[in-house]
Amino acid sequence: MKKDSKARIRTYLRDYRFQSILIRYFVISILFITLPMVVLNIAYGRHLSSNAREELFNVNQTSMRNSVEELDSCFQSIKNMTYGITQINALNYLKIQTSEEAVLNSQSYLSSIFSVNQVIRGSYPYVDSIYVYLEKSGSFVKNTALTNLDILEDTTWLPLYEELHTSRGILQVRYMQNRYPYFMTMICPIMGNDQVKCGAVVFNIDMVELSEYLGRGSYRNVSNQSTLLAIDVQSGLLAYSDEFRLFSNEKEELDNLLEYLDQREELTTIANMWGQDYIISEMASDDGAMRYVYLTPFNNAYSNNVYINDFLVKMVILSIFLELVIAALLARSAYHPIESLMEIVNQSSTLTAQNSEKRLNEISTIKRIMLDTQSKNESLEQEVEERMASLHNAQILALQSQINPHFMYNTLEAIGDTMVLLLGRENEATDMIQNLAILLRISLSTDTYIVPLRDELEHVKLYMQLMEFRYQGDIHYSIEVPDAMLSLPVIKLTLQPLIENAIQHGLRPKQYHGTVRIEGETLEDAVLIHVSDDGVGMTDDVIWELNDAMRQMDFQKIQHIGLRNVYQRIRLIYGDRGKLTVTRGKTEGTIVTIQYPK
């Protein structure tokens, strides 16, 4: 069977090619399953990459802030130490001396300054030298020695001192003696009693030593470490760098970095520097004097994400393969019913050669065969409809003729007229004979089997008058039907059999004492007519059997002739839209309901 199925599929694919429903199902499955999943996988991968990139940026910024805080702490310590020396008592004495000799003779004060300088330089290895300049005496202290300014080799700090017009110190990057490395110089003025500068304390910080002190210094051959740069905003010089070589011979690359930073918009970005990609973050110092740049090798930081990306690529490839397999299975499963139909179609001889040449796919082939079959059956269907209509009319007439015996209404009228002549007047008996004659005329008339509800109710009144006469007023009736329902077309002679059934089966066990009620009710899509009595009623089992027999259209199980007669005619004329149901009364008796469609 599987081989036959595969052979048939190959035949269909060969005959219909890309028009085949199987191919279309497969393509649709790819478009609606595989393609969306691929798009979702790609979108998810990009989302992960974006999150990873953002996380790397956040980590880089956090690391930069931590490093900057550490470096700023050193700078603040330098400022505090510089300012602290300007406030010692020995310097307060020496700053007012006006000659070198006076300063030289103040050995105790000089020793105090020498001791402070020695302690600081011993505690902080990145402090290269400490100058104390006394302007009034022209004296100059370098570390732990008194010298003259005229013989000092390092004088590039003097212009900074000359420009100093505030009691606050300044931090400046400069070359010491115009040679490598850079130094950061902190100059704090010594203020006289008149609040005019009369000297300065100068701290010279070796930036290479500072890098090593912080444990951050390295050369380019260590490429997996982050690098912190501090750039003096005023001079544009590199004040601090973890990478020593940037202090000396790579100013061009530093300038390129600064130019790139000036052009970008984000605080953190990725750029290629010195032959590799870096994550670059930037921030400014609180006073705006320093510009900090933090560089982290991108490949080192992104190593874990590379593994994730490789994993995602493999998962996308695997998911595409699985989705293609699923798409093929779904297409094959959806095609199975069509394959079964095609097997039947191929055994049919209704498809002409002309039709087979024009076929586009399996559905078009089935459609052409159905149209061909339909065209051949049109005449047969019309003939069947005509015969069924004739059969329905014959059945209705036959059922109507079964309701009452064939007494001639004109014979009854003659009897009534004779009684009037004999008695010399009309009486109750003659009235009943006339009513019976009219009743028989309506029953035996075959002009139509659909009448207005008004006429059907008149027939009911005639019948109930006969019943009241027969049972001497023990049986009563009431009719409560809205006027809007009186013109409703109903099946002729449907209420009288139900009323007769109510009298015979409901009121007879009560010695024919009781009331029969006819009530009308309008619903949204149907009209209900209820025939109820207050007789002995039926058991639940009997009611269930009657309703079940009517649902299954098993007329032989309906023992009540009146119910069966009415239900047969309702089904013949209205089909499933007409219904007849039996229910128990609210307190006693039985209710039979006819449902007509609007």
**Residue 102 predicted with pLDDT over 60:** yes
**Residue 253 predicted with pLDDT over 80:** no
Backbone angles phi, psi at 184, to 5 degrees: -105, 120
Query: Tens of pLDDT along 279-316?
Result: 888 888 877 778 888 888 877 666 656 566 677 777 77
Angle at which helix 561-574 crosses helix 362-401, to 10 degrees, equals 140
* Residue type present at position 116: V
* Residue type present at position 523: L
Residues 6+ positions from 113 with CB-CB distance below 8 Å: 85, 88, 90, 91, 94, 132, 141
Choice among 125-134, 380-389, 479-488 with the minimum mean pLDDT: 380-389
Greatest alpha-carbon pair distance for the chain in Å reads 180
- Which of 295, 239, 305 lies closest to 270, judged by CA? 295
- Which of 586, 104, 9, 572 lies closest to 346, judged by CA? 9
Q: Catalogue all structural domains in the chain, each as residue range(s) with its CATH number.
A: 87-210 (3.30.450.20), 216-301 (3.30.450), 353-397 (no CATH), 448-597 (3.30.565.10)
* Residue type present at position 214: L
Do residues 77 and 127 lie in contact, with contact meaning Cβ atoms separated by under 8 Å? no
DSSP 506-538: IIGGGTT-EEEEEEEEE-SSEEEEEEEE-SS--
Structure tokens at 173: 């990057």
Q: Distance of CA 322 to CAs 37, 316, 326, 332, 436, Å?
A: 11, 10, 6, 15, 85
Do residues 223 and 243 lie in contact, with contact meaning Cβ atoms separated by under 8 Å? no
Query: What does the pLDDT average to over 47-75?
Result: 83
The whole-angstrom separation of Cα 290 and Cα 180 is 21
- Which of 591, 544, 592, 596 lies closest to 571, judged by CA? 596
Q: Three-state DSSP class for 47? A: helix
Query: Tens of pLDDT along 496-540?
Result: 999 998 998 899 888 888 999 999 999 988 999 999 999 998 888
Q: Three-state DSSP class for 396? A: helix
**Residue 55 predicted with pLDDT over 60:** yes
Query: Tens of pLDDT along 304-357?
Result: 565 666 777 777 788 777 777 776 676 666 666 666 666 666 665 444 444 444
- Which of 536, 24, 17 lies closest to 330, judged by CA? 24
16 HSE (CA, 13 A, CB side): 21
Ramachandran sector of residue 100 (left: φ over 0; alpha: ψ -120 to 50; beta: rest): alpha
